[in-house]
């Protein structure tokens, strides 16, 4: 089983960090375009801007908890500096986005670049290595469809189980004494 790449009929929220906007705007535009080209309607895409990558998990979780969205796209850009600050933020953003997805059950696509240099970020925002914003959009679409397929399959299995709940085919439901007595009366 796998999710399809049609965004038709699905609702998405995109959380974009303003910090390093010259990169995050490229990522956002590519993600937005990818959703539209895959069949999403403009009215079904909500954009939420946050100050930096650290704020992405809280915004994503708040949106996911509303249960209004089939998937959340998280977009940001972290560049290594000269202090340990980068490592702390990378770990917290990654953990927070993953935890939000697991605890809410709403797929979250991780489109947060974690780069050593500005050149690497530019390359991943559309110059040499494709655009990770588009990759995040495609991942969000696929996971939204996969989640829908799993939930639909699960409810149909439960539905079939309930339909048969009133009928038991196990021999333990027939008392041997009663079966023998009815055979004698015939």
CATH of the domain at 90: 3.40.50.960
Number of domain units in the chain:
1
Domain that holds residue 129: 12-160
- 115 belongs to a structural domain: yes
Give the C-alpha separation, 114 to 44, whole Å.
28
169 has catalytic annotation: no
- 6 belongs to a structural domain: no
Catalytic residue among 37, 41, 67, 85: 85
C-alpha to C-alpha distances, 167 to 164, 175, 178, nearest whole angstrom: 6, 16, 19
The β-bridge relationship of strands 12-17 and 71-79 is parallel
For residue range 21-39, list pLDDT tens digits in order: 999 999 999 999 999 999 9
- 3 belongs to a structural domain: no
pLDDT surpassing 70 at residue 162: no
Indicate the pTM of the whole model: 0.83
- 146 belongs to a structural domain: yes
| Cβ atoms 28, 16 nearer than 8 A | yes
Weakest-pLDDT range from 48-62, 88-102, 170-184:
170-184
- 70 belongs to a structural domain: yes
- 48 belongs to a structural domain: yes
- 168 belongs to a structural domain: no
- 174 belongs to a structural domain: no
Give 171 or 23, the one with higher predicted confidence: 23
């Amino acid at each position: 089983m796998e999710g399809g790449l049609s965004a038709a009929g699905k609702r998405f929220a995109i959380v974009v960090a303003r910090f390093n906007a010259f990169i995050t705007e490229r990522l956002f535009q590519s993600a937005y375009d990818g959703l539209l080209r895959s069949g999403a309607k403009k009215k079904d895409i909500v954009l939420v801007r946050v100050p930096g990558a650290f704020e992405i998990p809280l915004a994503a979780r708040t949106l996911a908890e509303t249960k209004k969205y089939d998937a959340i796209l998280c977009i940001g850009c972290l560049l290594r500096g000269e202090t340990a600050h980068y490592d702390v933020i990378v770990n917290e953003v990654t953990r927070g986005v993953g935890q939000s997805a697991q605890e809410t059950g709403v797929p979250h696509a991780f489109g947060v670049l974690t780069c050593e240099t500005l050149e690497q970020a530019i390359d991943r925002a559309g110059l040499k290595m494709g655009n990770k914003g588009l990759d995040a959009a495609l991942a969000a679409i696929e996971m939204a469809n996969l989640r829908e397929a799993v939930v639909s399959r699960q409810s149909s299995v439960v539905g079939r189980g309930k339909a048969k709940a009133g009928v038991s085919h196990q021999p333990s439901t027939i008392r041997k004494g009663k079966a023998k007595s009815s055979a004698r009366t015939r």
